[in-house]
């Protein structure tokens, strides 16, 4: 016995939207909107459930990583050790972080001095 071919398209007896009157068309649209709203709510519930599971997993993972590294460090960095000293005024120093200070630029201007010439000698 041969299998029947699966029918595609509208079921028998269904009217195409082109041949429906306004009342039937509104009912058809209302059914489609209800079906769509139902599908959207089911999908939203499913995704929210998965998201909550994922949130619990992620927070547990973060807690484990935090414990492994000894928690987050708080506070500020220690004060930078000076690397450069002014030749004109020995009290003026610079750590080498950030933009080159004005005093260094002015002392280098018009001379052959370079940044390395201001280095503090390590004892």
Specify the pLDDT at position 20. 75
pTM assigned to the model: 0.39
> Could you tell me how many residues make up the chain?
123
- What mean pLDDT do residues 31-43 have? 94
Query: 36-56 as b/e, with b when 16 or more CB fall inside 10 Å?
Result: eeeeeeeeeeeeeeeeeeeee
Interval 44-64: pLDDT, tens: 999 988 888 877 777 777 777
Interval 73-107: pLDDT, tens: 667 878 889 999 999 999 999 999 999 999 999 99
Could you tell me if 71 and 65 are in contact, meaning their C-beta atoms sit under 8 angstroms apart? no
Beta strands in 3-120 (DSSP E): 84-85, 93-94
């Amino acid at each position: 016995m041969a299998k029947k071919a699966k029918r595609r398209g509208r079921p028998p007896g269904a009217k195409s939207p082109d041949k429906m009157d306004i009342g039937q068309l509104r009912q058809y649209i209302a059914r489609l909107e209800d079906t769509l709203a139902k599908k959207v709510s089911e999908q939203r519930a499913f995704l929210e459930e998965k998201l909550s599971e994922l949130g619990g997993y992620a927070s547990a993972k973060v807690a484990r990583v935090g414990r492994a590294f000894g928690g987050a460090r708080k506070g500020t960095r220690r004060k930078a050790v000076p690397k450069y000293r002014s030749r004109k005024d020995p009290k003026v120093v610079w750590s080498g972080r950030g933009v080159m200070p004005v005093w260094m630029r002015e002392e280098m201007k018009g001379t052959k001095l370079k940044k390395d010439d201001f280095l503090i000698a390590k004892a």
